[in-house]
Structure 1
Amino acid sequence: MERWDRVGRCAGYGAAVALGPYLLIKVSWVVGSLLGVVPIGEGFSLVGWLVLNTVTIGMAAIGIAVALAFVRPWGMRIPGRLVVFCAWVGSGFLVSVLPYAVFSALQGSAAGDAADSGDDPAMPGWEGALIQFGFLAMGLGLALALPVYLRRRWPEAFTRRAGDHPRAGALGASGVAALVGLVWLYWATGGTWGVAHTAERNLDGYLLTGLGAFWALAGSAAVWALTRPRPARVPHRLLLGLGWLGSGSLFAWSGWKLPFTLFVALAHPDDVTLPENLAVAAVLHLAAVAAGIGMLRTLVRPTADAGPHRTSPRVLGAGPR
């Protein structure tokens, strides 16, 4: 385990360093916009631009703090609920962001790096490339550092087997996740039911919808397999990872899209038109959030009849005693 500890520590520090340039770029945009020396992004008012970038600054700071918590001694003393929630939401965002960033980079390269001369004066090409590199490196670093941290802090959780997870509520949550994933897969493959504005659909939207569908279906299948009375043939760690990422993706993305969808439905902004029917999209996002929470509860709670050697006490508590 010493080798994996070293890998996890290097990955955690690397993730924190990789996200540093993104944080500095965002801070420079906010300060420069206030001073009038940096142009505002196309389509934004000054207030909207400042709010958006202030929020992303906070998210980047949390990401750096989480990466450092995985490798520093004080990370073992942080309340477990906070660590698990931040890591769960962050990984849920990243599993779709990272493939999308890779695809965008390849697409830009195939198009002769047209994006480097982008129309948005607030983001020169080199800044966009640096931001993409930062996200990719951070995602890879956290992917390596997180399981090492979890195993070091809660080793009991990794000794459980398929069938040790509670069935109560799990089948309902995984069923809802599967239904949401199937609808998203239908949209990603060109289906038009529930789509109000087909002209607003584009390749980026198809890709992100398809990624969301994949993780919803993969997470649903993993949670279902973990609750089966008979041990699954798939390794428990793989099922646990798929359930973790799938539930996190459902909660993170729909938790962000739900309020945005409701805002568009209530405010009717002239410059924003979503492809999907807003009522259908809102119901799906609400169902996805609920399913993600239900799946996570299944992953972290032991069965009521499991013996002491099969339970994982205080997985979400304040830490080891």
Structure 2
Amino acid sequence: MERWDRVGRCAGYGAALALSPYLLIKVSWVVGSLLGLAPIGNGFNLAGWVLLNTVTIGMAVIGIILALALVRPWGMRIPGWLVTFCAWTGSGFLVSILPYAVLTTVLDAARGGAANSRGDDSAMPGWEGALIQFSFIGMGLGLALALPAYLRRRWPEAFTARVGDATRATVPWPAGIAAVVGLAWLYWAVGGTLGVAHPAERDTKGYLLTGVGALWALAGAAALWTLARQRRSRVPHHLLQALGWLGSGSLFAWSSWKLPLTLFVALARPTDVTLPENLAVAAVLHLAAIAAGLGMLRSLVGSHPRTPAGTDPTPLRTHEPG
């Protein structure tokens, strides 16, 4: 077993282990709230709080199964589309947010340990917040290392190709949409107010989060555009694939999470929730981001080199571990 594969396997097990505290905390919140032993989050009734945390429990379970699938032999037998979609969405959520986690940690440390400050709207103890952050960062780092190793074992041709090797051009329309969305978010991240209904609601972390999302959208769009040009490039094919993968996953995952919240605020008008952006503008951008992310994924899958007609693809199974 080569060194990169060993690193990937260790990272997969580490990701599953890192996400376990988050799962246990969420289970304790649901059980505790049902038994009246734990507080309900501000702005929620019991049913809403249980539903929200049950959904996140399901996401955590899927994340742990995914991390194990990337390193266990049975993971190579799962349908490729299912592993691809789950890994794409998970990395879009967690790997893309790693720069934000690092920057906010530095900011909190500079403010004298403000990371333990939970605000007035949360009863979460500091140790729980620290464990949740550890789970997210650990899962993100684990995916960042385990996923390429898995993909390299299962589809090695994607890592040996060079830009321009593909036999057909991919239509780069998703790259254009992603670039527009990324530029709009970048405009907001640098302080632009057009399309912002409540500027006073923005804070430093909000600017950072929007900026990180914008940069991933632009990086993914640039990578897809380069792949679609079908010309030789000095940039390695696998690096462009990775940037396109993370950029498209970030667009899809985060906007799929934020769009329902935006629609809920627009329709229910809760008194304790105010989003900075104009809700209609935000909803349109999230819809565009979801469409761009899916279109980019389709184009990225199409950019993999095709097995020549008449060639038996089964030898790839020799890369299956165990």
Per-residue deviation, 1:232: 1.5
State how far apart, in whole Å, the 2-side matches of 1:121 and 1:179 are: 35
Supply the AA of the counterpart residue of 1:146.
Answer: L
Moved more, 51-60 or 39-48: 39-48
Per-residue deviation, 1:114: 4.1
Moved more, 15-24 or 270-279: 270-279
State how far apart, in whole Å, the 2-side matches of 1:73 and 1:26 are: 29
Per-residue deviation, 1:117: 5.6
Per-residue deviation, 1:131: 1.4
Contact 1:39 1:121 in 2 (8 A): no
Aligned pairs, number = 313
Supply the AA of the counterpart residue of 1:157.
Answer: A
1:313 and 1:185, CA in 2 relative to 1: closer, same or farther beyond 3 A?
farther
Per-residue deviation, 1:148: 0.5
Q: Structure 1 residue 49 and structure 2 residue 57: aligned?
A: no
Contact 2:96 2:247 in 1 (8 A): no
Per-residue deviation, 1:68: 0.2
Contact 2:16 2:63 in 1 (8 A): yes
Q: 1:65 corresponds to which residue? A: 65
State how far apart, in whole Å, the 2-side matches of 1:281 and 1:97 are: 20
Q: 1:139 corresponds to which residue? A: 140
State how far apart, in whole Å, the 2-side matches of 1:230 and 1:69 are: 35
Q: 1:127 corresponds to which residue? A: 128
Per-residue deviation, 1:302: 4.5
1:172 and 1:237, CA in 2 relative to 1: closer, same or farther beyond 3 A?
same
Q: 1:197 corresponds to which residue? A: 198
Q: 1:6 corresponds to which residue? A: 6
Q: 1:78 corresponds to which residue? A: 78
Q: CA RMSD in A?
A: 2.3
Which secondary structure state, in structure 1, belongs to the residue aligned with residue 191 of structure 2? coil
TM-score of the pair, normalised by structure 1: 0.90
Q: Structure 1 residue 292 and structure 2 residue 293: aligned?
A: yes
Q: Structure 1 residue 167 and structure 2 residue 169: aligned?
A: yes
Deviations 1:72-115 (A, max 9, x none): 11101111111000100111111343222233333333333344
1:307 and 1:84, CA in 2 relative to 1: closer, same or farther beyond 3 A?
closer
Which runs of no fewer than 5 residues in structure 1 stay unpaired?
A: none
Q: 2:181 corresponds to which residue? A: 180
Supply the AA of the counterpart residue of 1:42.
Answer: N
Per-residue deviation, 1:242: 0.4
TM-score of the pair, normalised by structure 2: 0.90
Contact 2:88 2:245 in 1 (8 A): yes
* Paired-residue identity, %: 73
1:67 and 1:199, CA in 2 relative to 1: closer, same or farther beyond 3 A?
same
Per-residue deviation, 1:122: 3.6
Q: 1:18 corresponds to which residue? A: 18
Q: 1:33 corresponds to which residue? A: 33
Per-residue deviation, 1:248: 0.6
Which secondary structure state, in structure 2, belongs to the residue aligned with residue 230 of structure 1? coil
Supply the AA of the counterpart residue of 1:196.
Answer: A
Q: 1:234 corresponds to which residue? A: 235
Which secondary structure state, in structure 2, belongs to the residue aligned with residue 308 of structure 1? coil
State how far apart, in whole Å, the 2-side matches of 1:186 and 1:312 are: 50
Per-residue deviation, 1:224: 0.5
Q: 2:266 corresponds to which residue? A: 265
Per-residue deviation, 1:209: 0.6
Which runs of no fewer than 5 residues in structure 2 stay unpaired?
A: none
State how far apart, in whole Å, the 1-side matches of 2:14 and 2:260 are: 33
Per-residue deviation, 1:116: 2.9
Moved more, 272-281 or 183-192: 272-281
